[in-house]
Structure 1
């Protein structure tokens, strides 16, 4: 739906809310890139063409404009989740590694130019198929040959095979491969290396790929990859400040193998900062489709024949709740990008934070939390909207299944969300990094749940209560090994980590409301913010009751509060659906109409 009918001031404020500081000219270019006809000359060529068109909307230095980078991938997700995933890997992980970890050598920069121009597809190979959490025990080797200065990239056995979207064999592919550097027989830690996998003729010598691996939730060209003593020039080592002297002496400013892994993986921050914008885009589109469907679909049940589906309270709580969660994710997108820009402006920390269970939270705890919370909530939103749209919700043309598959599959990808939550919970207890005052936040007896300020206060209080409870439990387990201490507490640690992430999102919602100037928009958003809080509290009711952050009467009052907020939101639906829907051609706004507009008909002959 176009935004043009809205007053200019409202239109501008909505654009800033939904797309950040991106101007109309950029959004027009992005729309054209995503709706352009693509030559039918093979799947790989089509993908390269689409990556090139998308890349042309971005600045020459991709990371100079994080809001534009995030918006481009968010629109790509709404248009085609598979394209979005390929672009995230291509831009943020592959190109991000080359530019952030490389030394700017001519050899590396020639590959940057090929990737930016769409002459090659970028691949990122970190996962090894044979073991869980393989990033913590990388087995692929890159051994220095001192006689030539080259690195010999090798897969020692089948368990070390890399898994990734590298099966597009009909186009040039350049991979960033995470491998264990070995010099003089010594393990120097995990670094990134540049390896060309294919050219215009197919696989290059020493590269072996498996047959395609089907993954319906994310339909890309997944394969396993083996390296058979592939020789890489010294310049293909993305050393990130490490060096090897002529006499073989190795020096790494990271200081340890653990810190080296964190440094190598820091390119993930761009992915984490972008995922909330991607999650918000698909969630807004899911909610618009579900609301539009519920408005236009009449029911034939005997309880009230002929009334619109949206008349039912159950449907209101579900689809308006989805819209409220989509708004919260939109606020989180701004918070995550601001945090990423702040971290990029800060002086580089060569040593970082001590690693816990995984490297993700040591790289950047709040950004990792944003990623984990965003993909989990977006998967929930798209699944609920799909269910509420009946048969239409399952049709491919409406993309709800694709949105759900994308985010559900991203829960373990890009840093496993559950491991991130476990690690945050542990860190909050062991590191004393709750970000809270010594005194617990005040209780919310005087604030009704229909207030936009109620949930932020509740979730901050609950984080404090959980931290205290988990700290007491950890202390009671004694002083055994870390595994013995934390194994029985991981479920609670995961809950604490997820509540911490929920608190980040709640604070972003509060900031967004405080900065909203348009009165009609502010009223609509305040009701959405409060409904997001009530919906979250209902979701977390067991934990809130268990620690007495809320009492039984508080939980019982949530259904009535949700209904009251739905009544507040209903008059604003024309404004909200127009604001949240993507432009024509990017995604269907009405999942009930879309099938009828794409069908063709065949009639049998008559006598």
Structure 2
């Protein structure tokens, strides 16, 4: 990871590619924090919260002060990406803790930070665990119809937090009852019986002696893919001080008059949920880091493992074209995710410098979900990144035989993390539906002469193809929509949803394709550019093979084009092969962070070193 063997110019550019603006001294501190105390079982449900708080404290010490948490998106991305490689469960706990819980306070406190300062520092320093309670388990799309209530009491100025019925119970990782937990809870505010929209509240769930009065939690809910302390949470008229209301510009005057700059309930929800942008912006970096590590381990296995097949006994797995396409293709997809991580950070950084949209401002119209209206590109980045990472890590696991399924090699944990995040953090499929719906309503450009794309072995081929496919699919859906009855929206959209979701996914893949080209254009070191160009082109070919059905159905590619893709993939694998030492060294995390035997120079010996042996018949 330190890339000490590389020339300085190559090393510096690779550092920027992988870590953005992070200072090397910060990465050294992060490395030490994770290496000092990490393990694949340390933060699992049932282990108690003390160890988890200790690990959150170590991570928090590498971050800025609580009120400046969001000042350095590259640092936030690196902390959570490295945590995911070390232990996906720790990463999930940290994402909720830092970005959703503490991030809500930072962005929505509205000048009340001095009242919440002690809580913020307790979270940052690992004296309390942060929780985010938004989903209500009893109904679909609960984000659009939050039923947990926060009734304002004019006599005291407090809010009374209450779960009105069992279906409104919140789902979240709040079962660590042996340590202090502070939650950000989304609830619908009522003043004088009038619904004022959904806001966030800071609520202590537990203290040193367990659950606080009025807070009720269920028995644990097992979730093997993301093993944390999941429970359902209900509130029974819990009193929350006025300062615990993350009002985000809203307020209640002394005479009870309510005012909110959002101007409507829909825009209020968008403003409250904008804290999700941080999670969406960081997820591509997490996906890139775990996918890079998975790909390195798969390449390592394929280089070392010798087959006894009749075709060529004794040759390494990597000699087979099928294995080359899979594991070198995984490296290529990991590179594309790394480029997308930079693109997502840029979008988020720009959004942080722009005030939240006021009434009548630039907030998007809400459709099937709130996510695309909060930020179309960041929601798309999240959805595309976790879906691709789940596919690639699953394939890497499969290509490593039984070793790929061993817990100690973490490929199952990486896959489970991203597979579960397809629904968590904003359901990816709903995000794609919503983006596709918006694009369909906006309509595509008028058909015209389309220039011929470059050869398929060029890094520029896939961006041109995916852009053309997006335009064709948009026009096709827009024409179908115009032929329906606008007075019956469900009947109009229902038969289109499958292709609408595909359009949303194509939009997200186009973002990633453009990020790859921008990254390549920014590389100045000749040797690094020589290594990355065929890798970028190979990602495009792998993506086209995944999308071949849709590409053929809409005439974006012809059968002859698709038939030739395996041949092009083989040419690109040959071009990538001479650069494997550089790529593997650059993409691998340090051995004391990624402790998997599959990452070792001799993975078979490394696996045996983790075992103890028992021999029968000895005294």
The interval holding the TM-score normalised by the smaller chain is over 0.9
Deviation by residue 1:61-105 (Cα, 9 ceiling, x = unmatched):
111100011011000001100000000000000011111111343
Q: CA deviation at 1:341?
A: 0.8
Q: Are 1:530 and 2:537 an aligned pair?
A: yes
- Residues 342-421 of structure 1: pairs in structure 2 closer than 5 A: 342-351=350-359, 352-421=363-432
Aligned partner of 1:37 in structure 2 is: 37
Find out whether 1:83 has 2:90 as its counterpart: yes
Match of 2:265 in 1: 257
Q: CA deviation at 1:596?
A: 2.0
Equivalent positions of 1:285-324 (< 5 A) are 285-324=293-332
5 Å-filtered alignment, 1:37-56, equals: 37=37, 43-56=48-61
Q: Deviations over 1:324-349 (max 9, x none)?
A: 00000000000000011111122331
- Cα distance change on mapping 1:589 and 1:606 into 2, 3 Å: closer
Aligned counterparts of 1:587 and 1:420: Cα–Cα separation in 2 = 32
Q: Provide the rounded CA distance (Å) in 2 between the counterparts of 1:310 and 1:359.
A: 45
Secondary structure in 2 matching 1:253: coil
1:157-186 CA-to-partner distances (Å, cap 9, x unmatched) read: 111110000000111000000001111111
Between stretches 141-150 and 119-128, larger displacement belongs to 141-150
How far apart are 1:107 and its partner, in Å? Answer: 2.7
- Give the conservation status (yes or no) of the 8 Å contact 2:271–2:356: no
Q: Which runs of 5+ in 1 are unaligned?
A: none
Please name the residue that 1:72 is paired with.
79
User: Which runs of structure 2 are paired with 1:36-185 in the superposition (5 Å)?
Assistant: 36-37=36-37, 43-60=48-65, 61-105=68-112, 106-185=114-193
| In 2, Cα distance between equivalents of 1:21 and 1:500 | 27
**Inter-partner Cα distance in structure 2 for 1:570 and 1:588:** 25
CA distance in 2, matches of 1:596, 1:508: 42
Query: Are the equivalent residues in 2 in contact too, given 1:340–1:367 (CA < 8 A)?
Result: yes
CA distance in 2, matches of 1:304, 1:440: 52
What pairs up with 1:186-585 in 2 under 5 angstroms?
A: 186-351=194-359, 352-432=363-443, 438=446, 442-445=450-453, 447-585=454-592
C-alpha deviations, 1:209-262, integer Å up to 9, x for none? 111111000010000111011011111111101111111111111011111110
Q: Distance in 1 between matches of 2:131 and 2:401?
A: 37
TM-score between the two structures when normalised by the length of structure 1: 0.97
Answer with 2-11 or 327-336: which moved more: 2-11
Q: Work out whether residues 410 and 596 of structure 2, in 8 Å CA contact, stay in contact via their aligned partners in 1.
A: no
**Deviation, structure 1 residue 403:** 0.4
In structure 2, the gaps of 5 or more residues are: none
Q: Normalised by the size of structure 2, how large is the TM-score?
A: 0.95
Q: What do residues 465-488 of structure 1 show as CA deviations (whole Å, max 9, x unaligned)?
A: 011001011111232322121111
The residue number in structure 1 matching 2:609 is 597
| C-alpha contact (below 8 Å) 2:538/2:572 kept by paired residues | yes
Quote how far apart the aligned CAs of 1:384 are: 0.4
Distance, in Å, in 2 between the alignment partners of 1:15 and 1:182 is: 50
User: After superposition, what is the alpha-carbon deviation per residue over 1:473-509, rounded to whole angstroms, capped at 9, x for unaligned?
Assistant: 1111232322121111011110000000000000000
Instruction: Provide the rounded CA distance (Å) in 2 between the counterparts of 1:423 and 1:542.
Output: 22
DSSP-derived class of the 2:306 partner: coil
Q: Aligned with 1:494: secondary structure?
A: helix
Cα deviations by residue, 1:383-430 (Å, 9 ceiling, x for unpaired): 000000010001111110000000000001111100110011110121
SS at match of 1:598: coil
The answer on whether the counterparts of 1:443 and 1:457 sit within 8 Å (CA) in structure 2 is: no
Q: Distance in 2 between matches of 1:27 and 1:482?
A: 51
The residue aligned with 1:606 is: 618
- Matched position secondary structure for 1:320: helix
Alpha-carbon distance in 1 for matches of 2:225, 2:356:
37
